[in-house]
Structure 1
Amino acid sequence: MGRKAVSIDTKKGIILLRDTRMFQHEISKKLNVSRHCVRQTIRKFNRLYTTSTKPGAGRHSKVTRRQKRASKLQQLRDDTLSLNDLVRYVQTSLNLNISRQTVSRVLHEFGLVSYVSPRKPKITHQQRCYRLFWSWDLVFYYVQ
């Protein structure tokens, strides 16, 4: 389990107390945060001049925005493409090895879905009767 995030108000307090020439260990005691947090906040403020949390943390996506748009365009060109066809297109033309789940997620980001073929309808009662008569005719034909 990760540590609890420190609020931006606390980080601003760390910077203000640092500007009053207070030592890092005194700041950590006064605000009840770790020394490491104080040191990290000051270092980040010196580098970025802000205490806010910057975006960009986490794992980078394997698929770029351009590649996402290309796969979206392919789906819009031919909406009868299945998910496997789209994966094949991405592998050949974009030279990217990604799974069906990733392609599905990319399409979902644009509000699209891949083609799913409709299920075959079940046979009706009349079709079942015709099939039974046909099979009985075959049985009696071979018996004679």
Structure 2
Amino acid sequence: MDYPEFEAEFKQVYEAILNGRGDRDLSADAARLSALAAQIDDEDDREDAYLEVSVIESAAARGLAEPPPEIIMRAREAYTEAVRDDGTDAERLTRAEQGIRELERIADGGDPDEQRAIGSLEHILMMLIGALRDDAMTDRTER
């Protein structure tokens, strides 16, 4: 399985959450998505998928009547934009750095649990930034 296939499945569940979910069993959805995430070959993509599964698990833990907090939805949107893999490494690095700043801004308005969740997203972006910088250094030394 590749990440875009997983993402399509995740988005269906996430949209159901945003649109009122009805009688959907989010625990079953989380278990199914977790099993799909485990099948993703690329380690970074697999970690991203598990992070998204945690969003569904959080929603399941809160119960069916309560959608994810607005702050978490904004943080996820900022994160999704920051980790896009199109463009040059320099463009991706700039996006990731902007994403860190945006997540920090969003987290300032959150409670401690929300700040921890957003901090997890920031941590992943920091790892991406490190990898992109390492790639840039490797490219320079190979010339």
Q: Which structure has more RCO (C-alpha within 8 Å, separation ≥ 6)? A: 2
| TM-score grouping bracket, smaller chain normalisation | under 0.3
> Which structure has more helix as a fraction of its residues?
2
Higher Cα Rg, which structure: 1
Query: What TM-score do you get using the length of structure 1 for normalisation?
Result: 0.24
